[in-house]
A and B are shown apart, each in its own frame.
Chain A
Amino acid sequence: MAFYRSTVLVSVDPVCVEKGAYELIDTLNDELIKQGLIDEVRILETTRLGDPQKLGPDIIVYPEGTHYTNLTYYDIPRLVEEHFIKGRILKQYAAKMQDAIDEELSAPKSKEVRVVLRNVGVIDPRNIEDYIANDGYQALGKVLTEMSPEDVIQEILDAKLRGRGGAGFPTGLKWRFARQAAGDIKYIICNADEGDPGAFMNRRVLEGDPHSVIEGMIIAAYAIGSRQGYIYCRAEYPIAVSTMNLAMKQARALGLLGKNILGTDFSFDLEMRMGAGAFVCGEETALMASIEGSRGEPRTRPPFPAQKGLWGKPTNINNVETYANVPPIILRGAEWYSSMGTEKSKGTKTFALAGDVKHTGLIEVPFGITLREIIFDIGGGIKNDKKFKAVQTGGPMGGCLPEHLLDLPVDYETLGQAGSIMGSGGMIVMDEGTCMVDIARFFLEFIQDESCGKCAPCRLGTHRLLEILEGICNGQGKEGDIEELQDLCEQIRKNSLCGLGQGAPNPVISTLEHFMDEYKAHIEEKRCPAKVCRNLIKYEIQDGPCTGCTVCARNCPVSAITGERKQTHVINQDICIKCGICYQVCQFEAIKVI
């Protein structure tokens, strides 16, 4: 590797790209050539550095670590002159340190352990040399020269690595099944169809450390005896797709993909396939149908993909995070890996914290940490000093867990027993202002929309569930609704074809279990305790605080508010559409939600 006196990291986060990050890079490159500095200063593209909405495009200059924000290509000549020639910091654009936080991925907090995210935000994802300099492809070298395929499988089994896509099936076992399956042609697939709302862990790995996924896949291919692999990435992640494509090209150029990898007899290559906007394609059999060029509809299992997968051949399919765990396990050993976590869930897990928590973003923690530690110690607690109400784990087919379950250690089994699932790692925190019936309705709306329609329990059952929930939220809940919900949930769970349908009732089951009083308030008292469901609330103007300033009346879109200047105003409930605008514009807190 060449030696550079300075390295400039430029954020090419989607927002920064829109704000001209590439124009900035081009100008910087030209200017460095012009000033004769191009051999001394290196430009690297990286993922998000700060909050791109406020700061982008932004850059960091190392080794000094100066963070410049809100730059345009127009500022570059001055920046080069001042910073790189005269050695002076351009104060005008230097960010205050507290601003310079990556909203998605900040420096590791004390309770975090980074294995999967070890390189993300640290190396240049578009340069394979950076990955190699950080022990990249060493595990592959070890595997190809010192280990038999059986050794590799045993190591992964000993590490007790479980599938990070959500189901938690032992990865080593999956590999063994695929290895033992009869046939010469076998396939490897990486499931990068990260569709769970609020989950973006895999995106950051694909964008920030693509080679760790590729290396994990090559090792898996060696273990099961495959020569061809596919990465199925959702089209909503264009940057991840282009980063992966570039990484594959670079790996191929160095002989890490293709014929006779590292000079051995082993050959393997990868192809990228893009999704086309169907959530159900994250289900493994649907995903394979999509690669084959068909509608992404799941099929019954068995036969499992390890026996009969892509084009009827034995196929091993794992999630992005599972593959990214493989190189460190091979390099540092199963013993090291299984020293982290609980008895049955070993290692670490990435989560995307979202919702009403102070620090949202990506985290990676060892299994066994409690939900309370995640939300309050790492996440910093609830925003705006409100009270915690529930945490939703596992994506749309997960469940909502209340306060008294916060001390549960997080692993596959405990979350399952509590009525939720591990899922791929979305974690949405909700404060006291969230209506749990509305949340259940919301998730059902999503599931109903994404149901592929192949099997009746999912197609019709979720439709009926949604109808009942909509009724309850609209104030038309009636006696017997709860029993019907419970019965439907049971039927859908038992009779659906794939994980989407089987998991579909989870949001309803878990909210019924933990927040039954809210359902009852909606149905029996026609009241929404969190004051969210429009038909069950009304806005009223309080006599005392109202100064008669007329702001509410002027802003009301349906002219439902009347009153003389300096007199208390009144809302006509028959006209009011409960849009809440008056509540937002009132400066005297005179409007109350009842």
Chain B
Amino acid sequence: MAEQKFAENEVVELVTKIVTSIGTTRGDLIPILQKVTNELGYISQEAIQQISVLLKLPTKEITSVATFYRMLSTKPHGRHIVQFCESAPCHIAGGREVLSALKEALQLEPGETSADNKWTFYTTSCLGICGVGPVILIDTEIHGNVTPDQIPSILGRYE
């Protein structure tokens, strides 16, 4: 995840590059926002400003789309994003206990970022790997068949 802070002119440059590579029609907005989230870590106000200029769309329109989808973020993230699958198959396979152990270990509620900026914690929709539930996704790494007592050692692997 993008940890470094971007200066305003860098954001403008990056967003312009992304928009040039994707396109400037209305249908291109979500792919643009997805790419900005990936490269910048989140969709900052400056990024929204620049998209607004290039796509000729009001900023409130862009903000309204950016805040609708869970995978688009208008807030900065911690270094690692921990996502817990809270879906039914994981719930039945013991997910409730894993979730409370995870909250306890991170000292975070879903949607929060830790003070040291190390973790951002989310619950996610079904990841579709229900055969190995309960499932935790840390950044892009999947941890399956998780039990509450494994949580500290799993988290311990991340710097």
Contacts and interface: CB of A to CB of B under 8 A. Distances in A.
A391 to B, nearest CB: 12
Contacts of B89: 197-198, 354-355, 360, 428
Contacts, number: 126
Interface string B37-65: 00000000000000000000000000011
Contact of B88 (A14, A53, A198, A360): A198
B92 A355 contact: yes
A277 B70 CA distance: 5
A293 B87 contact: no
A293 B130 contact: no
B68 A296 contact: yes
A506 to B, nearest CB: 14
A236 B85 CA distance: 11
B92 A293 contact: no
Contacts of B144: 15, 53
Given A198-B126, A276-B30, A442 B131 contact: no
A239 to B, nearest CB: 10
A428 B68 CA distance: 29
A197 B92 contact: no
Contacts of B92: 354-356, 428, 430, 434
Given A290-B30, A292-B27, A352-B130, A396 B88 contact: yes
Contacts of A52: 132
B126 A236 contact: yes
Given A198-B88, A290-B30, A396-B88, A15 B142 contact: yes
A196 B128 CA distance: 9
Contacts of B31: 273-274
Contacts of B25: 293
Interface string B74-118: 000000000000111101110001001000000000000000000
A360 B70 contact: no
B158 interface: no
A341 interface: no
Contact of A198 (B33, B72, B130): B130
Q: Closest 7 A-B residue pairs measured CB to CB?
A: A197-B87, A276-B69, A277-B70, A277-B71, A293-B29, A200-B128, A354-B89
Interface of A: 14-15, 18, 51-53, 103-104, 194-200, 203, 235-238, 273-279, 290-297, 311, 352, 354-356, 360-361, 392, 396, 426, 428, 430, 434, 439, 442-443, 446, 450, 452, 579-580
